[in-house]
Amino acid sequence: MHDRAVTKAPPLHRNLIAGRDVEAAGAEPLDVVCPSDGAVIARIQQSGAAEIDAAARAARQAFEGGWGLLTATERGRLLVKLSEAITAEGESLGALEALDTGKPISQGRADATAAARYFEFYGTSADKLHGDTIPFLNGYTVAVTREPHGVTGHIAPWNYPLQIVGRSVGAALACGNACVVKPAEDASLTALRVAQLAREVGFPDGALNVVTGLGSVAGAALSAHPGVDFMSFTGSPEVGTLVQQAAARHHAGVTLELGGKSPQIVFADADLDAAAPTLVKAIIQNGGQTCSAGSRVLIERRVFDDVARLLAPRFRALRAGPHDRDRDLGAMINAKQKRRVTGFIEAALRDGAPLLAEGAIDEDAPAGGFYVAPALLGPVARDARIAREEVFGPVLSLMPFDDEADAVALANGTDYGLVAGVWTNDAKRSMRVARAMRCGQVFVNGYGAGGGVELPFGGVKKSGHGREKGFEALYEFSAAKTIVIHHG
């Protein structure tokens, strides 16, 4: 926070298109604000349809030229080099991520490590994505190959820019696609830096392009661009619908990762002491601004008070503060998000949800920062807004349930379905309940462990569709081609 002179003009960042740093024509650059104190720390290009078009053309050229001609092994080696470059710069990339998003510096560093791991994982996977042969009629051989889509568009949110760019671009590039990324206007700096690093380690021009700007302008232009063959979107359900509609007009496929209201189910037979720190971390990490945040804890009624007593002191001990002080959580991303989260908490309290515990904000935290004190609420009514809607902030709702069937119905009873946690020492029950969850990922006696670069991830219902992360993502970013050979 004290490492920059406020008198200096904030640096101007340019788009990276076809291997060159270019300015957007027509519109003034956008200010980039540090959520920890509200100061303007940089400016980014405010791009429009023209810049998106230039990037889509550059990507097409790369796909048909330099990038597209590489073997899978050569692509993989470049991705591994990019991973190494991110690791070498991990400290400063992590600091930049923290400055740009307000997240605690150690979370910024962890995000840089995870981004490096994504590029390593997909780099070493690139030449392992092999097809199949299929038994068919006599005299025929059938081969199924995996083909890249061509040009892929990536719209990223502000909560984990490094990680989400790593996971989606890493997999797309490994398959041989050329990419155009539109990062969130609130957090574009690390995506730009990753693209510069890709250029430095020798990616052919146009393989990875980053174009900054407003979602409603640059994001909309990217999803509507007929030269984009496939879209990967992470963000809100409302915008996800717009992206899918725009892509549908030119018949491009999409993956949508749209957040959740993920439950953690705590049965009375669980090791409650072991569960408690994870239940807190699952909502407090990144200030609750995590799509897979465990924002509902469903507790078997006869241990409800025990669990509440275990969680309350942990919540009281939580501190929010500037990113460089590395507290439990930083500021919310912007003023709008702070208003949204405090609005949810105030409405829940007005509706009668008891406030079981509240964390604190550093007393001397900069007044211009977007801080929210963590809140533990419970018992929360099942039909309350806070029990059903994604808050995207540090607020945890506790709800009692009666038996296994009730727990399953309650867990599955929102519009979302992204992740679930099951806490029990009954092995049969853990498998029954895990299988009954309507979502993309279930953790038993744990939650969100270790980032899970290797683990397929995605949602059902309002949480979206398609899978990213793990080897599974390579199937999303490629398509089967069936070659039928009649040789007699």
- Kindly state the tokens that stand for 265: 């189910």
Minimum Å gap between C-beta 333 and ligand NAP is 7
Minimum Å gap between C-beta 154 and ligand NAP is 9
Among 235, 321, 322, 379, binds ligand NAP (CB under 6 A): 235
When the beta carbons of 111 and 205 are compared against Mg ion, the nearer one is 111
Could you give the angle at which helices 161-175 and 90-101 cross, rounded to 10 degrees?
Answer: 120
Among 100, 111, 120, 257, binds ligand NAP (CB under 6 A): 257
* Strands of 15-17's sheet in order across: 20-22, 15-17, 208-210, 178-182, 151-155, 230-234, 253-257, 464-465
Minimum Å gap between C-beta 257 and Mg ion is 21
User: Which of 55, 276, 350, 65 has its CA nearest to residue 180?
Assistant: 55
Minimum Å gap between C-beta 56 and ligand NAP is 14
Catalytic residue (one of 51, 97, 185, 257) = 257
Residue 332 lies near ligand NAP (rule: CB under 6 A): no
Residue 392 lies near ligand NAP (rule: CB under 6 A): yes
Catalytic residue (one of 34, 175, 179, 291) = 291
Taking CA atoms, 306 is separated from 276, 302, 311, 423, 426, in Å, by: 10, 8, 9, 14, 19
How many residues bind ligand NAP (CB under 6 A)? The answer is 28
At residue 58's C-alpha, the angle toward residues 56 and 62, to 5°, is 115
Stretch touching Mg ion by CB under 5 A, among 16-24, 185-193, 295-303, 449-457: 185-193
- For the chain, the straight-line distance linking the first and the last C-alpha, in angstroms and rounded, comes to 73
* Contacts of residue 323, Cβ cutoff 8 Å, sequence gap at least 6: 1, 34, 35, 36, 98, 99, 101, 102, 103, 104, 105, 108, 330, 331
Residue 37 lies near Mg ion (rule: CB under 5 A): no
Q: Is 291 a catalytic residue?
A: yes
Q: Choose among ligand NAP, Mg ion, none what residue 219 binds, the Cβ cut-off being 5 to 8 Å by kind.
A: ligand NAP
When the beta carbons of 128 and 250 are compared against ligand NAP, the nearer one is 250
Residue 185 lies near Mg ion (rule: CB under 5 A): no
Stretch touching ligand NAP by CB under 6 A, among 18-26, 37-45, 214-222, 302-310: 214-222
Residue 242 lies near ligand NAP (rule: CB under 6 A): yes
Taking CA atoms, 447 is separated from 265, 280, 285, 293, 421, in Å, by: 11, 11, 12, 9, 6
Q: Are 156 and 194 in contact (CB under 8 A)?
A: no
In this structure, the dihedral spanned by the alpha carbons of residues 239, 240, 242 and 244, taken in order and rounded to 10 degrees, is: 170
- The number of beta carbons lying within 10 Å of the beta carbon of residue 103 is 29
Q: How far apart are CA 91 and CA 105, in angstroms?
A: 9
Within 115-154, the residues that bind ligand NAP by CB under 6 A are none
User: Which of 249, 192, 260, 190 has its CA nearest to residue 221?
Assistant: 249
When the beta carbons of 120 and 186 are compared against Mg ion, the nearer one is 186
Q: What x/- string results for residues 291 through 310 when contact with ligand NAP is judged by CB under 6 A?
A: x-------------------
Three-state secondary structure of 349-400: HHCCCCEEEECEECCCCCCCCCCCCCEEECCCCCCCHHHHCCCCCCEEEEEE
- Annotate 54-120 with DSSP letters as a single string: HHHHHHHHHHHTTTTTS-HHHHHHHHHHHHHHHHHTHHHHHHHHHHHH---HHHHHHHHHHHHHHHH
Minimum Å gap between C-beta 82 and ligand NAP is 22
When the beta carbons of 151 and 332 are compared against Mg ion, the nearer one is 332
Minimum Å gap between C-beta 218 and ligand NAP is 7
When the beta carbons of 104 and 204 are compared against Mg ion, the nearer one is 104
Among 97, 100, 120, 257, binds Mg ion (CB under 5 A): 100
DSSP state of 457: B
Residue 460 lies near ligand NAP (rule: CB under 6 A): no
Task: Quote the longest CA-to-CA distance of the chain.
Answer: 81
Stretch touching ligand NAP by CB under 6 A, among 20-28, 157-165, 303-311, 378-386: 157-165
Q: Are 124 and 303 in contact (CB under 8 A)?
A: no
Minimum Å gap between C-beta 234 and ligand NAP is 5
When the beta carbons of 28 and 383 are compared against Mg ion, the nearer one is 28
Minimum Å gap between C-beta 224 and ligand NAP is 8
Residue 192 lies near ligand NAP (rule: CB under 6 A): no
Residue 186 lies near Mg ion (rule: CB under 5 A): yes
When the beta carbons of 100 and 111 are compared against Mg ion, the nearer one is 100
Q: Which residues bind Mg ion (CB under 5 A)?
A: 100, 186-187
Q: Which residues bind ligand NAP (CB under 6 A)?
A: 155-159, 182, 184-186, 214-216, 219-220, 223, 234-236, 239, 242-243, 257-259, 291, 340, 390, 392
List active site positions. 257, 291
